[in-house]
Structure 1
Amino acid sequence: MVDRPKKPTSLNPSARSSAPQPTVDISDDRVTATLPTGESVSILLYGATVISWKTASGAENLWVSEKAALDGSKPVRGGIPIVFPVFGPPPKEGPTSKLPQHGFARSTRWEFLGKSSSEGEAQGQGSGDESVKLDFGLYGAGLDESVKSKWPYEFGLVYSVTLGREGLMTVLNVRNEGDEGWEFQMLLHTYLRIDDISKTTISGLGSATYIDKVLDATTHTQSTPTLSITSEVDRVYTGLKQDTTSVLADGKPRLDVVRDNLEDTVVWNPWREKANAMGDFAPKDGYKQMVCVEVGSVAGWQRLEPGETFEGGMMMRSYV
């Protein structure tokens, strides 16, 4: 279990003030939480996919395709899909070889495990709760038999989504609940909403090594301090030492993505041709208003022996 100093501390419910509290609405297909100050987050039970994260100003920070399927018929194009236990197309051989691209977590219905709230230390006198944490679970026993036959391991996933005034934290806890070891990859496939890709740069990746999937998965080193996107980009930055990757608009901070116990970051934008080729990508020029900055462990494989646990995630901050 990784120690996260930014993780909110749960309050004793009996000690709470009478100030406004976060609201949590639960429906058949999603859970939505709103803070008294106006920040909100919405998560589909299908895939435990975060499909909206708004700041107090009402600004949306996540991009979701206008043609995204939100009915559980296919993985959501946009938001924050969870990639597990394999990233990208599966290898031709090995335990994950029969799984679909990006695994099964994003295309399986999760269970809502409950909520908890925390109060900011500096705002403790009558200010109400500063954050709310929503937990979702997925377990080997709950998988469809067709999926179990392709990846027959016992596991437990707990995905925690914490909405706070300072940002959004998403953390995936992976546990081996069987009697044999297994390997996995995981990624939070985050689609960030931006105003104009031509005025957007990404910092925090300078001098880093990356695998360029556009260039036949060859390895390169980024020579510039910031990345500008002017064509299709599909890069896996590996072994990053700097925790924060920042998205800038006209040189000013727009969004920060801070990795937690994860060393890899994927940057993706399909650009014109690939966007046109995807039936669920809309509008077709939507690539101008989005960029994926995805934290994960995907350059290699994590191995868990029976009873072992891995945990990793991210903290995102918005400047609008």
Structure 2
Amino acid sequence: MIEEHQDKVIVQLDSDPTTSVTILKYGATVISWKLKGEEQLWVSTAAKLDGSKPVRGGIPLVFPNFGKTKDESKATYDLPQHGFARNSEWEFLGQTTSNPITVQFALSPEIANKEVYDLWKGKPDFTLIYNITLADEKLTTTIEVENPGDKPFEFNWLFHTYFRVDDITDIVVNNLTDEECYDQLLATTYREKAPMVNFIEEFDRIYKKIPEEKVLQIIKLGHVQQNIKRSGLPDAVVWNPWINKSKGMGDFEPKSGYLNMLCIEAGLVGEFKTLSPGEKWTGSQDFYPKGEILVQSNIY
């Protein structure tokens, strides 16, 4: 069942209405994913859901730049952090499949946030098609970036996913061992050597060119809470703001919320992707709970 409201779209399984996904039209941001009534995503209680600013939580969409571009030669140099996809009003195109149920959104220069889009040098022509697929035990988000214009453009893409956890200090993430990592707090690149990543302080790392067969897993006290499987998305940002950074973000509430969230953000952010005229690029991710712990890295 699909309910379209003025500001959002709610998708529920006919077989189980307690399994649902809610997508704001502003930013095409997924703000809720419930499995049998249990919320899987974290959204700040101070998040703005009225289209006045990007949502703190859920799955914000990052395009065409990740962070603030530091290279002045790049067309995205003047754009603010994370670009304009997350603060543009997307067009809801409707349902595309029924089993599993898929809904589709689109963004183009004509409806993008004009104030921000105009800062993209050359104002490249682009089309974004976003599909959200809800199944019994799985959520799939797929983005297609197309260049319908007559000149190439460069872009980053990121699904900035905030997962809900009971207590971050009980959580580890696996299958990142031996992957190249840029630590944004230390401004240093190295190989991750921890057999599993744990969280005892602020954490902000970009893992680059992770083999696609590796499934990232959020593990709570020895049990898999969530699996993240990627296609076409070689990189992953792992982030938790911890105490001090949480205090500095006005839309991050409660301030103790860092204990209940973990961002694992699949994307294409280690380098820019160039899209030639007429070309398309696709990236997708699957989330599904439980299952066996997968050891896909040499942890010894």
**Normalized against structure 2, the TM-score is what?**
0.93
Superposed CA RMSD = 1.2
- Alignment match, 1:126: none
Question: 1:92 offset after TM fit, Å?
Answer: 4.7
Asked if structure 1 preserves the Cα contact closer than 8 Å seen for 2:20 and 2:35, the reply is: yes
Asked if structure 2 preserves the Cα contact closer than 8 Å seen for 1:90 and 1:102, the reply is: no
**For residues 278 and 45 of structure 1, what CA distance do their matches in structure 2 show?**
24
Match status 1:220 vs 2:220: no
Specify the SS of the correspondent of 1:286.
helix
Specify the SS of the correspondent of 1:273.
helix
Question: Cα deviation per residue 1:249-269 (whole Å; 9 max; x = unaligned)?
Answer: 101000011111111011000
Question: 1:204 offset after TM fit, Å?
Answer: 1.4
Question: 1:144 offset after TM fit, Å?
Answer: 4.2
Question: Cα deviation per residue 1:65-93 (whole Å; 9 max; x = unaligned)?
Answer: 00000000000000000000000112251
Show structure 1 runs of 5+ residues with no match. 1-22, 120-130
Asked if structure 2 preserves the Cα contact closer than 8 Å seen for 1:243 and 1:260, the reply is: no
Question: Cα deviation per residue 1:209-266 (whole Å; 9 max; x = unaligned)?
Answer: 10000102x1011112210010000000001114310000101000011111111011
Pick one of 40, 57, 60 that aligns with 2:39: 60
Match status 1:251 vs 2:222: yes
Asked if structure 2 preserves the Cα contact closer than 8 Å seen for 1:32 and 1:41, the reply is: yes
Amino acid at match of 1:54: K
Match status 1:313 vs 2:284: yes
Total equivalences in the alignment: 285
Question: 1:291 offset after TM fit, Å?
Answer: 0.3
**For residues 47 and 92 of structure 2, what CA distance do their matches in structure 1 show?**
22
Pick one of 80, 87, 95 that aligns with 2:59: 80
- Alignment match, 1:104: 84
Asked if structure 1 preserves the Cα contact closer than 8 Å seen for 2:90 and 2:112, the reply is: no
- Alignment match, 1:128: none
Pick one of 203, 208, 227 that aligns with 1:238: 208
Q: Between the two proteins, what is the percent identity of the paired residues? A: 42
Matches within 5 A, 1:3-22: none
Question: 1:149 offset after TM fit, Å?
Answer: 2.4
Structure possessing the higher radius of gyration over alpha carbons: 1
Question: Cα deviation per residue 1:103-136 (whole Å; 9 max; x = unaligned)?
Answer: 00000000000103343xxxxxxxxxxx210100
Shift of the 281–55 alpha-carbon distance from structure 1 to 2, 3 Å rule, reads: same
**For residues 149 and 201 of structure 1, what CA distance do their matches in structure 2 show?**
41
Show structure 2 runs of 5+ residues with no match. 292-300
Amino acid at match of 2:202: E
Question: Cα deviation per residue 1:162-185 (whole Å; 9 max; x = unaligned)?
Answer: 000130000110001110001000
**For residues 145 and 26 of structure 1, what CA distance do their matches in structure 2 show?**
25
